[in-house]
Amino acid sequence: MIKGFRDFILRGNVIDLAVAVIIGAAFSAITKSLVEDIITPLIAAVAGKPDFSALVLNLNGTPIKYGNFLNAVIYFLIIALVIYFFLVLPVQKLLARAHALLGAAHDSWSGRGDHGPTETNRPLTNP
């Protein structure tokens, strides 16, 4: 039982996941600062409000803090944008390049390319 747990914990996937969570938490703090300290004031300068968290709608005496929601949406969109442009697109390009290289290597290894078997690259058979 203990050996199985040890094997599970020491697998590369679990350690990679732990590192990703720690880096994600650090990245979250950086992105939150970017939104709260740079982007929100820039947008607020155009809109005339210094901070979106101050935006509140009072409905029958109940405060609805839609400014906090706007901050959260901006924060989410920035994280999604960064993940897409710095993680998803580069990995897609890397995978496309790898598939192209593997496809070319497979074609040259098989000796067939796109033309099929010819007299010079026909597989050897027993007479």
Name which of 36-40, 61-65, 84-88, 112-116 the model is least confident about: 112-116
Confidence class for position 118, pLDDT limits 50, 70, 90: low
CB 47, CB 41: distance < 8 Å: no
Contact call for residues 22 and 40 (beta carbons, < 8 A): no
Position 110 scores a pLDDT of 61
Give the N- to C-terminal CA distance of the chain in Å, as an integer.
Answer: 59
Is a pLDDT exceeding 70 seen at residue 92?
Answer: yes
Whether 65 and 56 have beta carbons less than 8 Å apart is answered as: yes
For the chain, what is the mean pLDDT? 78
Q: Is the pLDDT of residue 62 over 80?
A: yes
For the chain, give me the number of helices (H) and strands (E)? Answer: 5, 2
DSSP-assigned letter for residue 53? G
In the chain, where the domains are located = 2-110
Measured CA distances, 46 to 40, 42, 53, 70, 74 (Å) = 10, 7, 16, 15, 15
| pLDDT at residue 117, rounded to an integer | 55
pLDDT at 24: 83
Strand partners of residue 58: 63
* Per-residue pLDDT at 101 exceeds 90: no
Nearest to 68 by CA among 53, 56, 48: 53
Residue partners of 28: CB distance under 8 A and separation at least 6: 79
pTM equals 0.52
Residue 70 parent element (H or E): helix 66-83
- Span 2-110: which CATH code? 1.10.1200.120
Q: What is the pLDDT of residue 63?
A: 92
